[in-house]
Structure formats: C-alpha cells, structure tokens
C-alpha cells in the first residue's frame, strides 16, 4: 500500500494512468457485450474510477478532474465500440455522474473513506446502491431516447453490472486498518489458488452444473484470514475470471442460455448477482474480522499496559478476586509485601486466608456473619462504594503486618458483582508511630490535668491564706494608726519612725494580699466588675493622689497631662483606679532616681468614628528586653531587668491590669527599649454620646 503522502505527490501521473485504464476497460466491456444487447455484461471501468476517486480522498478539485476525465474517456470508449456519438456522450456523462455520487456519499462531511468498520462498509453499500440507481436511470433513458431500447430492462441490467463492479473494485482504493503482524504467505497463496481453481472449474466451458455457490466457502476462508486489501484483489480476480468464462459460454449461467432457459440479459443479471453476493459476503466477513483483530490488538495492548502499571507499583499490593474471593490478580507489590509468588496464589488461594483469622472472626462478629470472604466485602454488596480500613495480614514467613486496604467491587453491566479489587499499603510503622504519638498525647493530657489540678490547689491555697492573713493584718494596721495618733501616749521620734515603717510595710503586705485575692477571682472566672457611667478623669485624679506616697523618698520628676473636660465611659471606677495605680507603681519601681514618670490621658477616634479613652503611663527607667515584652502580662512573670536589679514585686500587677482592661472591652499594649524606658498604653471605649455621668 502506497503511503497517502507519496500517492498524492504522484497523483497527476496516477490520474492519467487511471483514465487510460478507464478507457481500455470501457472499450473492452463494450466490445464483449452480448450480441443483441445495448449494454455490457460488466463495467469494471466504473469500479476503477470510483476506487481512484476514493483513494484521492475528500479533495473536491481532484474529484472534479477525475469526473471530467471519466466523461471524456468513457464517451470515447463507447464511441470506439461503435455506438452513436450522442449515445456515447450520454453514457460518458452517466458513468461520471455515478462516480461523483459514490464519492460524495463516501466523503460527505469531509471524512476520508475507510473500511475499518461495518459502519464504513454500510456507507460503501449505500453509496454503491445510490450510484448504481442513478446510472441505471440515466443509462435507461439514454438507450430509450437515442436507440429506442427498453428503459426498465436496460436500467435494471446496467445498475446490477455497475454495482457489482464498484463493490468488487472500489475497496482497493479505500484506506483500511489491519493489525495482523506477519502475513501467512503460504496460506495466502494456497487460498488464492484454491479460490481461482474452484471458480475456474465451476464456471469453466465444460461445466454446466448449478454449482455457482462453491467458490463462496473458499472466499469466506480468505475473508477471515487475509488482509482486507488482499481480499479485495481476490474479488477483482474472481470477477474478471467469472465474467470472462461466462462470456465464452462456460458455467451454469451460460449453460442456461445455451439451453434456451435464459436470454443474454438474464445471464448478465445472474452473473452480476453472483458477483454482488460474493463481494458483500467477503467484505462483511473481512471488515468484521479486521475489526475483531484490531479490537483484540487494542485489548492486548491495554492488558499489557495495565499489567505494566500494576507491576510498577512495587510498594502497593493490588489483589483481584472473583465473586467467591479466589485470587485472580496478584501484582509485584503484593509479592513484595507478602512474599508469595503469583503462581502460588492465583486461582488457588482465597484472599481471606491472607488475613489474621482472629481479626476476621472479630469483624465477623461485629457484622453478624460467619468468618469467611464475605466479611471483607459485606458492606460493598449491591453498592458502588469503596471501603477503606486497616487489616492485619500474615506474610509467607509468618510476620504480621498492618495494611491500609481499600476494597471495591467489580460489577458487570447488569450491576452484579463479578469480583473484587483490593489495594493495600503497608502502614505497620506508620500505625506504630501514630500509636506512640497517641500514647504520648495521652500522657501529656494527664500531665496537664495534674498540673491544672495542682495550679488550682495552689490558687485555692493562696486565696485561703490571703483571707486568713488579711484579718490580723488589718488589726495590726489599726493598732499602728492608734500608736501614731498617741492613743497610748506620746511616742519618741525614733518610736514614730519605727511605727511608720510598720505601717508602710503592713500596707504593702495588704496590697499583696489584695492582689492575690484578685488574681484568684480572675483565675476562677469570678472577676465581677460593677460597671456604671463614670469619668475617667476623676479615676486618674484619685490614683495620682497615691503617687505622693510612692515617690516620697525618691528623686523623680512626675508629670500629669489630662485632657480638659470629662472622659465618660462605662466602667468600674475602683477597678480602673487599680489599673492606673498599678501602672504608676510599676513606673516608679523601674525608674532610677533622676528619671521621670509621666501620665497622659486624652481621647482618640478610629476611622469608623468610634471613640476611645487613651491612658499612657511612661517612664525613663530600665526598659524591658524585647524577648520579655510578650510575657509581661503573664501571672508571676518577672522580667530579666527586674531580676537582675532585684526590684521588688510579685509579677501580678500587669496581669491584673490586663484582666481589668479586657473586662472593660479595652486593650493594653507595651512599647519599651532597654535603657531608655517603657510606655504602657490603655484604650477604653468611650460611653455613647448623651450618656449621663453618675
């Protein structure tokens, strides 16, 4: 078969040779027309022209050239055969029209003519029938008008003759597919010789027996074994041989004419009927056999690809079973995982035998089933779902491995399960690691619970101790005040100094106790704020008054910048005063002599117009290291600067500030640089406009 690209490059030369062939075959057919007949018994020129047009593809320009050439060559052939010029010209146009009709039907929609399927063959049969009918009508009209012959008899005869020629010769020009890898040359030769030999004997001059059917079994043999193109060539040879032998008086059809049982037109019709029957029989079987070989080749290729994919999954076990659970597929990954070679398990082992029997029995009890293959696929019956769960497999050497197995059903078109497919991955180490992590998490959870209980006990203890200490301490402070007031007589200066120290340290201890109690309430979620409309300016003023006692013996510059007018908000005045006091106390404690402490209160508004009170307490003290700043609001936290400089404190003040500010829907932030100072900024939402101050 000439490649299409090479054929198209040589197309002009091929077209010229084909048109010469059309002329020669047409002239020969006219010459051998039966005596007294207006038409030829067989018209192979029609088949040759159609075959070449189909081989040229769907190009309309090439088709037009062949059509015009057919008009000329066919007309000249009829003229050469002795027919009148008008008749010859009409026959030329009729032959060209038939070829054009067949080509149009076969290439409609721009498709390239093929004989790769029964659908393609059906299209060829339809095209042949339509073309033969068109030619029959045109030829019948030509004979009736120009020669005065019978219309119907002529149309019937030439339609059969041209249909036979097209069906036998046209397949040579149609691209076909075949996957037969090696031609069977001896068988091909034997089959061809047998076919022609049987045809020669059946249609030979000495044989008049009605055995026209005998070549068909040999043709069927070739149709099921040969390439489609080889069969098409045999059909051409068979057609030429049968027509020739019949025309010289051989075979059962000519015998009927000799005996007077049939006229020449009937003999021609019988010959064409035989050729059409042989062509349809051979082509149907050949196309079906070719399609079957192609399908088998595709199936084999797909099976090879699938097997390659399965074997490439060396770390994944893929096991297929039939509906009873007997293993039908065992890939290389399954062999690597379990140690069994495929030939040891395929067809002889049920895949439930690969599972831990104790685990299978336990699962069967859960499902209410007897231990067996059904346990593995019970949830898949009647559904298209998949099931994924862990199973324990037993390897060939007795090891136990945990696999993550995904099982799915293989169903037929009726929805019935014909087998099952399992895809498994060894997760033994992964599951062991997960179990270890789970155990560690459990231990961690228990440790956290124990620490939480200890922390709660500590908080309860501190709260209880603080309550117990507050009462006697209040008594001590009360008696100290009485001594300072001279309730038991005047005190000497040294005695007053000692009493003042007792009072000062007692009050510091009382503040510590208050912090511990407040912290206990915060931890237990019992921080209750008595919020009401208040003026933050008043709160700041009260807190500022206590600053004098803190700075009494210090060399510090203190400054207060408070906005004019009230700063109204909804808050707990006592709690807010504690916020201001704690921030001022911190600033004083962490600022060395010669430094400064500043308090600033104003208001600010965001982009949405919401107002906030802004309280900033800043100092020029030691500062807080950057790595400590995110921890300063934690309970009992002491910064590295406080530890290094032995600054007194419990680490509760700022955590209390954060809790109170959060309780007022506000925020607190810190900015600090070591050696330069610290600033704490508190933002509290202002009361809505029009709210009354209490």
Q: What is the dihedral of CA 562, 565, 571, 572, to 10 degrees?
A: 70
The residue with greater pLDDT, 607 or 511, is 607
* Count of helix runs (H) and strand runs (E) in the chain: 24, 12
Write down the pLDDT at residue 497: 79
Report CA-CA distances (Å) from 619 to 76, 250, 541, 677.
121, 131, 19, 5
pLDDT exceeds cutoff 90 at 669: yes
Q: What is the pLDDT of residue 694?
A: 43
pLDDT digits (tens, 9 = 90+) for 176-194: 545 444 556 788 888 889 9
In the predicted structure, residue 646 carries a pLDDT above the cut 60: no
Per residue in 336-349, pLDDT (tens digit) is 889 999 889 898 88
Strand pairing partners for 683?
A: 614, 667
Mean residue pLDDT of the chain comes to 82
Asked if 676 and 689 count as a contact pair (C-beta separation under 8 A), the reply is no
- Nearest CA to 157 among 243, 268, 83? 268
Residue 514: domain span:
433-521
Q: What is the pLDDT of residue 615?
A: 94
- Tell whether 326 and 376 lie within a shared domain: yes
Higher pLDDT, residue 456 or 317: 317
CB of 120 closer than 8 Å to CB of 106: no
Q: Helix, strand, or coil here: 39?
A: coil
Question: Tokens 């007022």 label which residue?
Answer: 664
Q: What's the pLDDT score for residue 516?
A: 67
Task: Name the band, by pLDDT with cuts 50, 70 and 90, for residue 677.
Answer: very high
Is the pLDDT at 34 greater than 60, yes or no?
no
Residues 511 and 541 in one domain: no
Same domain, 329 and 421: yes
Q: Within a domain: residue 680?
A: yes
Q: Which residue has the higher pLDDT, 688 or 425?
A: 425
Same domain, 511 and 537: no
Average pLDDT over residues 545-564: 85
Question: Do the domain assignments include residue 318?
Answer: yes
- Are residues 166 and 79 located together in one domain of the fold? yes
Say if 693 falls within a structural domain.
Answer: no
Give the CATH number of the domain where residue 454 resides.
Answer: 1.10.287
Shared domain check, 257 and 118: no
| Closest alpha carbon to 521 in 341, 656, 373, 342 | 656
Give the three-state DSSP class for 343: helix
* Local confidence band at 551 (pLDDT 50, 70, 90 cut-offs): confident
Nearest to 425 by CA among 409, 407, 402: 402
Does the residue 690 lie in any domain? no
**What pLDDT was estimated at residue 33?**
60
The answer to whether the CB of 173 falls within 8 A of the CB of 55 is yes
What would the two tokens of residue 570 be?
């909804």
| Domain match, 453 and 561 both | no
Indicate if 473 and 405 belong to the same structural domain.
Answer: no
Three-class secondary structure assignment of 66-102: HHHHHHHHHHHHHHHCCCCHHHHHHHHHHHHHHHHHH
User: Does residue 611 lie in a domain region?
Assistant: yes
| Span of 67-71, 249-253, 421-425, 439-443 with lowest mean pLDDT | 249-253
| pLDDT the model gives residue 582 | 87
What's 557's domain CATH number? 3.30.565.10
Residue 385 pLDDT level (bands cut at 50, 70, 90): confident
Give the whole-angstrom CA distance, residue 47 versus residue 631.
99
**Dist CA 179 CA 298 (whole Å):** 9
Mean pLDDT to the nearest integer, 644-669: 81
Residues 6+ apart with CB under 8 A from 538: 573
Q: How many structural domains comprise the chain?
A: 5
Whether pLDDT at 313 is above 50? yes
Q: Last residue of some domain: 475, 503, 521?
A: 521
- Residue given tokens 């008049």 in the structure block: 208
Whichever domain contains 369, its CATH number is: 3.30.450.20
Helices 493-523 and 428-484, interaxial angle, to 10°?
150
The pLDDT-based confidence of 150 (bands split at 50, 70, 90) is confident
Within 8 A by CB and 6+ apart from 197, the residues are none
59 and 165 assigned to the same domain: yes
Q: Are 578 and 679 in a shared domain?
A: yes
Q: Do 543 and 623 fall into the same domain?
A: yes
Q: Mean pLDDT over residues 48-54, rounded?
A: 87
Q: How confident is the model at residue 626 (pLDDT cuts 50, 70, 90)?
A: confident
Q: What token pair was written down for 364?
A: 């069967």
pLDDT at 474: 76
Cβ atoms 84, 143 nearer than 8 A = no
Cα–chain-centroid distance for residue 353?
35
3-state secondary structure of 16: helix
**CATH number of the domain enclosing 73:** 1.10.1760
Residue 648 clears pLDDT 70, i.e. is over it: no
Reported as a single tens digit per residue, the pLDDT across 494-536 is 887 787 778 767 766 766 777 666 767 777 666 788 889 999 9
Determine, yes or no, domain membership for 694. Answer: no
Phi-psi category of 525—alpha, beta or left, where left has phi over 0 and alpha has psi -120 to 50? Answer: left
344 assigned to some structural domain: yes
Contacts for 442 with CB less than 8 Å, ≥ 6 apart: none
**Residues 573-584, mean pLDDT to the nearest whole number:** 90
SS3 content of the chain, % helix, strand, coil (to 5): 60, 15, 25
Rounded CA separation 424/316 (Å): 6
- Residue 692 placed within a domain: no
Distances (CA, A) of 174 to 4, 124, 170, 293: 11, 10, 7, 18
- The last residue of one of the domains, among 503, 521, 539, is 521
Instruction: Say if residue 547 is in the same domain as residue 559.
Output: yes
pLDDT at 31 (0 to 100): 65
- Band of residue 552 on the pLDDT scale cut at 50, 70, 90: confident
Of 175, 196, 230, the residue at which a domain comes to its end is 175
């Amino acid at each position: 078969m000439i490649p299409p690209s090479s054929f198209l490059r040589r197309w002009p030369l091929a077209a010229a040779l084909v048109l010469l062939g059309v002329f020669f075959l047409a002239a020969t057919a006219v010459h051998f027309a039966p005596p007294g007949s207006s038409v030829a018994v067989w018209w192979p020129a029609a088949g040759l022209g159609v075959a070449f047009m189909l081989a040229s593809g769907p190009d309309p320009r090439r088709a037009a050239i062949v059509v015009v050439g057919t008009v000329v060559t066919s007309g000249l052939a009829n003229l050469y055969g002795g027919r009148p010029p008008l008749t010859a010209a009409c026959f030329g146009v009729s032959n060209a029209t038939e070829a054009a009709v067949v080509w149009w039907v076969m290439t409609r929609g721009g498709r390239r003519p093929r004989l790769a399927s029964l659908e393609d063959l059906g299209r060829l049969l339809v095209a042949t029938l339509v073309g033969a009918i068109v030619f029959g009508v045109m030829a019948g009209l030509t004979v009736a008008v120009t020669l005065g012959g019978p219309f119907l008899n002529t149309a019937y005869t030439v339609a059969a003759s041209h249909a036979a020629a097209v069906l036998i010769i046209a397949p040579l020009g149609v691209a076909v597919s075949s996957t037969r890898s090696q031609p069977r040359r001896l068988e091909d030769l034997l089959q061809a010789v047998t076919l022609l030999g049987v045809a020669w004997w059946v249609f030979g001059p000495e044989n008049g027996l009605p055995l026209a059917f005998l070549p068909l079994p040999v043709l069927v043999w070739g149709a099921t074994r040969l390439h489609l193109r080889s069969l098409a060539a045999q059909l051409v040879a068979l057609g030429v041989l049968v027509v020739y032998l019949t025309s010289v008086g051989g075979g059962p059809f000519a015998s009927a004419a000799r005996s007077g049982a049939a006229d020449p037109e009937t003999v021609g019709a019988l010959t064409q009927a035989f050729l059409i029957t042989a062509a349809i029989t051979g082509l149907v079987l050949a196309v079906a056999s070719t399609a079957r070989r192609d399908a088998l080749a595709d199936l084999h290729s797909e099976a090879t690809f699938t097997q390659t994919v399965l074997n490439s999954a060396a770390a994944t076990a893929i096991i297929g079973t039939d509906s009873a659970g007997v293993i039908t597929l065992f890939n290389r990954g399954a062999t690597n995982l379990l140690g069994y070679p495929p030939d040891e398990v395929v067809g002889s082992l049920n895949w439930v035998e690969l599972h831990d029997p104790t685990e299978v029995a336990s699962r069967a009890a859960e499902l209410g089933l007897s231990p067996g293959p059904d346990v593995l696929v019970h949830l898949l019956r009647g559904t298209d779902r998949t099931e994924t769960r862990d199973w324990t497999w037993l390897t060939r050497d007795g090891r136990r491995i945990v696999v993550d197995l995904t099982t799915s059903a293989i169903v037929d078109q009726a929805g019935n399960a014909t087998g099952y497919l399992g895809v498994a991955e060894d997760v033994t180490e992964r599951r062991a690691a997960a179990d270890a992590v789970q155990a560690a998490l459990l231990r961690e959870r228990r440790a956290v619970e124990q620490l939480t209980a200890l922390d709660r006990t500590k908080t309860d203890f501190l709260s209880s101790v603080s309550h117990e200490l507050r009462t006697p301490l209040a008594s001590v402070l009360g008696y100290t005040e009485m001594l300072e007031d001279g309730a038991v007589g005047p005190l000497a200066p040294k005695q007053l100094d000692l009493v003042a120290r007792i009072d000062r340290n007692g009050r510091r201890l009382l503040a510590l106790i208050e912090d511990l109690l407040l912290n206990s309430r915060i931890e237990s979620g019992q921080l209750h704020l008595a919020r009401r409309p208040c003026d933050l300016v008043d709160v700041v003023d009260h807190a500022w008054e206590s600053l004098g006692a803190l700075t009494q013996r210090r060399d510090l510059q203190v400054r207060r910048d408070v906005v004019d007018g009230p700063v109204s908000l909804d808050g707990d005045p006592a709690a807010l005063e504690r916020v201001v006091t704690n921030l001022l106390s911190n600033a004083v404690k962490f600022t060395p002599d010669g430094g400064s402490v500043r308090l600033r209160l104003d208001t600010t508004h965001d982009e949405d117009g919401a107002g906030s009170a802004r309280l900033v307490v800043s100092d020029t003290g030691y500062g807080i290291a950057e790595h400590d700043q995110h921890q300063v609001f934690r309970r009992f936290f002491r910064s590295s600067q406080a530890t290094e400089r032995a600054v007194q404190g419990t680490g509760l003040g700022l955590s209390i500030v954060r809790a109170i500010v959060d309780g007022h829907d506000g925020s607190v932030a810190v900015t600090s640089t070591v050696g330069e100072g610290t600033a704490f900024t508190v933002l509290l939402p202002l009361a809505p406009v029009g709210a009354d101050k209490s």
